[in-house]
Amino acid sequence: MKKLEKITTQKENFAKWYTDVIQNGDLMAYGSSKGSIIFKPLSFGIWDNIRLNLDSQFKKIGVQNVNLPLLIPESLLNKEKNHITGFNPELATVTEVGGRKLNEKFFIRPTSEVLFGDFFKNEVESYNDLPLIYNQWVNVLRWEKTTNPFLRTREFLWQEGHTIHNNKEEAENLTTQMLDVYTNFVKDFLAIPVVKGQKTEHEKFAGADYTFTIEAMMKDGKALQAGTSHYLGQNFSKAFDISFKNTKNKIEHAYGTSWGVSTRLLGALIMTHGDDRGIIIPPKIAPIQVDIIELFASKDERISKEAKKIYNLLNEVGISAKIDSTNKNAGFKAANSEIHGTPLRIEIGPRDLNENKVLFVRRDTIEKIYVPLEKIKETTINILNEIQENLYNEAKKRLIKNIKIANNYKEFKTLIENGNWVITKFAGDGNDEEKIKEETGASTRCMPFNLDIEINSEDCFYTNKKTNRVVIFAKSY
Amino acid sequence: MKKLEKITTQKENFAKWYTDVIQNGDLMAYGSSKGSIIFKPLSFGIWDNIRLNLDSQFKKIGVQNVNLPLLIPESLLNKEKNHITGFNPELATVTEVGGRKLNEKFFIRPTSEVLFGDFFKNEVESYNDLPLIYNQWVNVLRWEKTTNPFLRTREFLWQEGHTIHNNKEEAENLTTQMLDVYTNFVKDFLAIPVVKGQKTEHEKFAGADYTFTIEAMMKDGKALQAGTSHYLGQNFSKAFDISFKNTKNKIEHAYGTSWGVSTRLLGALIMTHGDDRGIIIPPKIAPIQVDIIELFASKDERISKEAKKIYNLLNEVGISAKIDSTNKNAGFKAANSEIHGTPLRIEIGPRDLNENKVLFVRRDTIEKIYVPLEKIKETTINILNEIQENLYNEAKKRLIKNIKIANNYKEFKTLIENGNWVITKFAGDGNDEEKIKEETGASTRCMPFNLDIEINSEDCFYTNKKTNRVVIFAKSY
């Protein structure tokens, strides 16, 4: 594939920077149809690592994986109308097969609540059969008008968890628990700090009693919804007649939850850590953690020998490395490693070898460190840990710095204009949210949990009504 | 879910036995639309293990995972017409979105050769860029008229590998290599012996120069195509203009392969090993390898203590176990373990505990073995290995026993009638194959490689023409 000579800087044009780096970093290619993308080995490798690691967190709390069909018959979709209104304009519809018109239309799943509803109703008779804590890793499709690779594509990959319980409390606890699983996962593996909170009525998942969210801040200040966990109450259970005999021998409708994260996380990762040299992949999720670069490869056979030795050394302790033994020049190889976001590169050159050392270059700080040959293993382990921590700390600092308090609409507009998140007291309704979005581009992201920011005002910044409701607004992806 | 009181025996009605055991064994439920199924945790767990283990074999030979879109634009599909004729009547077609008619139709992928073709053409400039050895684990859809869970469903899960190379030899070698990867994988993990061979012109994948296959024998004698590997030559490269500058600086079209296995493997596994008590899952692919059954659980606390001890003991050496501590009776618990195909169950009862022993029951042979408490770990490891071996050996014996030679059409018909595979000399063409299929239900499965069966006749059993071509015929799934 042809590469750009120069990447647009973040300051020049953040959106252009984003599409430059994901293409030059070999993360994706555009698909054959509009709004579709191809996950190339690097981005799919990251997604595979996300799946592997998140799935093992799921299993610790008893989640079981299943797989439900892609297509939803029209009759089924109409059973729960609340949640579907929003998806309606985006539903890709199969109306014919091999040129013959079908009697019933089928929709490609935009999400699978109704399919799980129809499935669950036959699986449950007594309170003993509950809970069912299921999840699937699948593709879904929403025919979006404006698309952006990873962030908003017509088809995307995700996991969607669907559970039913024999009591409200257990279902509500699981809704909270999954939000914590997501929070810890994006923190520990993707090095992304988030704000946890609840969506407003206006922004919640239609069909849910309430929606929890984790919101991440991108380097341009915009918010990205990185994961959601919905408490569905008995809404889908009533629509699909998912009922059980309770301990008092009475028939009762089950209590449901659903929760998901998607390949949007790749977009979040790129826009949280990337810089003007390209993407930066946190070590704990990187398919390749170390690039081993042979300098002047053809001229000195000690170099390739040392490269293989280091490769094996790292392999032994579970660090994935890749050797670049091509005949390209040193600058090209370094830039190539940087644009692909490999956390650490080790350069092996003849002069350094004479002194029994190699050069480590960190992708995050571009710091150069000479490391004696006998210290390579431990130094690599330490530096990868440091990079992981540093990426998180930098992102966390930025997040805290850019959440600002607005006391009135004027302050609000200025702060939003300057790329901040605004935390404020808000008593408005959905109509007010729509108006504010029209005028400023900002929407409510959440009513945050445990955010250590004191707001002295007791008045809504917009309606001036007295309120205790704290809300975060931001422009978003 | 309601369970059947009694499972139809294999002898009574093999097809009915099959649908009985997969439902009673909690492998699947029927989906909301015709021809679709739901993979419940047990069957998806097996598929996940297949994916995990096969993928690690792939990675050893340099395969990289990618993900391409679900939908194929109509214009793209028409570029390579050879391979599409067969799929045409089965193509689910998206013609509208949210009630609005689209300008161009989209087909849900029945396989992804054309999508990879369109992708590859932009990825390659020089011989240096090759090979590209890509694979994806995805869902595909073919609107089949007659469906059968796992064996033939409208939507199924599979992996499809797609590669391009800068020379014919390398591509052909990879076609062979992948067939060997599949052969070894189904042998080592699924305990399924297969016959390797090449499909006839009539049965090969349209669009391929030739197709290799592995064919497995089910307990009713029918064949099941368990995996295929296609050498595509330059067919798709020419249709999609995938070309590269070769070492002589000339433009040349790339050489392609594709290869896949699907969730049909679950059907193969069930019909290779299952018996009248239910399914049998080979230990190396079983999500749960050992059921630990507490007998009279409520009456003696030593029992649950010992169960947990054994669970932890097995867990330490990577054996997955599950404790049944319910208050059901012993017979129910044993039957429940058997119907779910768990390779080994360990029953813990008070009387045996008094003698410091527990009871092992093998799922394959239903053999009962008393094991002293201090020998549980090593005995479990040994017995699981024995079960894996025994399942393979039994299937292999059956396979060899039921491949028979036919010298003429009369013998052929009798053998097919009796549920055998027939190996014979065959000089016929596609029309002859069609006629034979109409009259006997048998189709050509393959021209076998390295099968140690001597056929003395030099005449085709059907046309009487002289020929050296050895072909296997069988009824098939």
CA neighbor of B93 nearest in space, from B161, B142, B144, B36: B142
Chain centroid to Cα B118, Å, comes to 29
Residue A477: pLDDT band with limits 50, 70, 90: very high
**In angstroms, how far apart are the furthest CA atoms of chain A?**
82
Q: Tell me, what's the ipTM?
A: 0.95
**Contact at CB, A90 and B97, closer than 8 angstroms:** yes
Q: What is the DSSP letter of A407?
A: S
Residue type, B451: L
Going by C-alpha positions, the residue among B395, B396, B289 that lies closest to residue B341 is B289
Q: Are B109 and B269 in contact (CB under 8 A)?
A: no
A352-384 pLDDT tens trace: 999 999 999 999 999 999 999 999 999 999 999
- Interchain proximity A71–B92, CB inside 8 Å: yes
The Cα of A443 is separated from the nearest Cα of chain B by a number of Å equal to 25
What angle is formed at CA B80 by the lines to CA B77 and CA B82, rounded to 5 degrees? 115
Please tell me the distance from the alpha carbon of residue A236 to that of residue A256, in angstroms, as a whole number: 7
For chain A, list the domains and their CATH numbers.
14-273 (3.30.930.10), 290-383 (3.40.50.800), 405-475 (3.30.110.30)
Question: What is the tens place of the pLDDT at every residue in B447-476?
Answer: 999 888 889 889 999 999 999 999 999 999
User: Looking at residue A466, what DSSP letter applies?
Assistant: B
Smallest CA–CA distance, residue A74 to chain B, in Å, is 10
Tell if the CB–CB gap between B96 and A93 is shorter than 8 Å.
yes
Q: How far is A93 from chain B (nearest CA, A)?
A: 5
Peptide bond between residue A287 and the one before it cis (omega within 30 degrees of 0): no
The verdict on a CB contact (< 8 Å) between A97 and B119 is no
List B161's β-bridge partners, or say none. Answer: B135, B259
Mutate to test the interface with B, among A54, A63, A66 (most CBs of B within 10 A): A66
Question: Which pLDDT score is estimated for A208?
Answer: 95
**With 90 as the cut, is the pLDDT of residue A213 above it?**
yes
Choose among A29, A33, A115: nearest Cβ to B73.
Answer: A33
Name the least confident of A77-81, A249-253, B309-313: A77-81
Contacts of B134 in chain A (CB under 8 A): 41
CA atoms of B340 and B24, how far apart (whole Å): 8
> Residue A298: what pLDDT?
67
Name the residue in chain A with its Cα closest to that of B94: A94
pLDDT bin (cut points 50, 70, 90) of residue B78 is: confident
Return the pLDDT at B327.
86
Burial grade of B187 (CB within 10 A; 0-12, 13-18, 19 or more): middle
User: Is residue A363 within 8 Å of A342, Cβ to Cβ?
Assistant: yes
Nearest-CA residue of chain A relative to B101? A93
Whether residue A283 contacts residue A289, with contact meaning beta carbons closer than 8 Å, is answered with yes
Q: How far, in Å, CA of A423 to CA of A450, rounded?
A: 13
Q: For the segment B251-295, what is each residue's pLDDT rounded down to a tens digit?
A: 999 999 999 999 999 999 999 999 999 999 999 999 999 999 999
The DSSP bridge pattern shows strands A92-97 and B92-97 to be antiparallel
Beta strand B251-253 with B243-245 is antiparallel
Q: Cβ B94–A93 below 8 Å, yes or no? A: yes
Please determine, for residue A4, whether its predicted confidence score (pLDDT) is greater than 70.
no
- Closest partner residue to A39 (CB to CB) among B67, B88, B118 is B67
Query: How many angstroms away from the CA of B340 is the closest CA of chain A?
Result: 16
Structure confidence at residue B3 (pLDDT) = 62
Of B67, B94, B118, Cβ closest to residue A94 = B94
> pLDDT value at position A324?
95
Q: Distance of CA A207 to CAs A160, A211, A213, A420, A430, Å? A: 15, 10, 16, 31, 16
Q: pLDDT, tens digit, for every residue of B88-116?
A: 899 999 999 999 999 999 999 999 999 99
Range in A138-142, A346-350, B32-36, B238-242 with the lowest mean pLDDT: B32-36
Torsion of CA A202, A207, A209, A215, to 10 degrees: -50
Mean pLDDT of chain B: 95
Average pLDDT over residues B200-207: 95
> Contact A93/B93, CB-based, under 8 Å?
no
Mean residue pLDDT of chain A comes to 95
Task: Say what percent of chain A tops pLDDT 70.
Answer: 99
Q: Does the structure show a pLDDT above 80 at B28?
A: yes
Q: How far apart are CA B471 and CA B426, in angstroms?
A: 6
Considering only A184-188, B5-9, B34-38, B427-431, which range has the smallest mean pLDDT? B5-9
* Separation of alpha carbons B241 and B238, rounded Å: 5
CB-based contact B319:B312 (threshold 8 Å): no
How many other C-beta atoms lie within 10 A of the C-beta of residue B89? 14
Burial of A100 (0-12, 13-18, 19+ CB in 10 A): exposed
Query: Is the distance from CB of A62 to CB of A277 less than 8 angstroms?
Result: no
Shortest CA distance from B137: residue in chain A: A138
Q: Given an 8 Å threshold on Cβ–Cβ distance, is A65 in contact with B40?
A: no
pLDDT digits (tens, 9 = 90+) for A406-444: 999 999 999 999 999 999 999 999 999 999 999 999 999
State the pLDDT confidence band at A140, using cuts at 50, 70 and 90: very high
The distance of A336 to chain B (nearest Cα, Å) reads 15
pLDDT band at A80 (very low <50, low <70, confident <90, very high): confident
Q: How many CB pairs under 8 A join A and B?
A: 159
Say which residue the tokens 């047990």 belong to: B42
CB contacts of B119 in chain A (<8 Å) are: 29, 31-32, 38
Which of chain A's residues have a Cβ under 8 Å away from the Cβ of B288? Answer: none
Chain A residue numbers with beta carbons less than 8 Å from the beta carbon of B94 are: 92-95, 108
Residue A348: phi, psi to the nearest 5?
-110, 115
Residue A171 has pLDDT above 60, yes or no: yes
Q: Which whole number is the average pLDDT over A244-268?
A: 97
Q: Is A166 helix (H, G, I), strand (E, B) or coil?
A: coil
Angstrom CA distances, B435 to B160, B221, B430, B453, B466, stand at 32, 21, 9, 26, 20
| Pairwise CA distance, residues A69 & B36, whole Å | 6
Question: Structure pTM?
Answer: 0.96
Q: What is the DSSP letter of A32?
A: S
Question: What are the start-end ranges of the H helices in A121-245?
Answer: 168-188, 235-240
Chain B contacts of A94, Cβ < 8 Å?
Answer: 92-95, 108
| B287-329 residue pLDDT tens | 999 999 999 866 788 999 999 999 999 999 999 999 999 988 9
Q: Which positions in chain A touch B41 (Cβ < 8 Å)?
A: 64-66, 134
- Name residue, tokens 């042809």: A2
Residue B456 pLDDT: 87
Per-residue pLDDT of A101-126, as tens digits, reads: 999 999 999 999 999 999 999 999 99
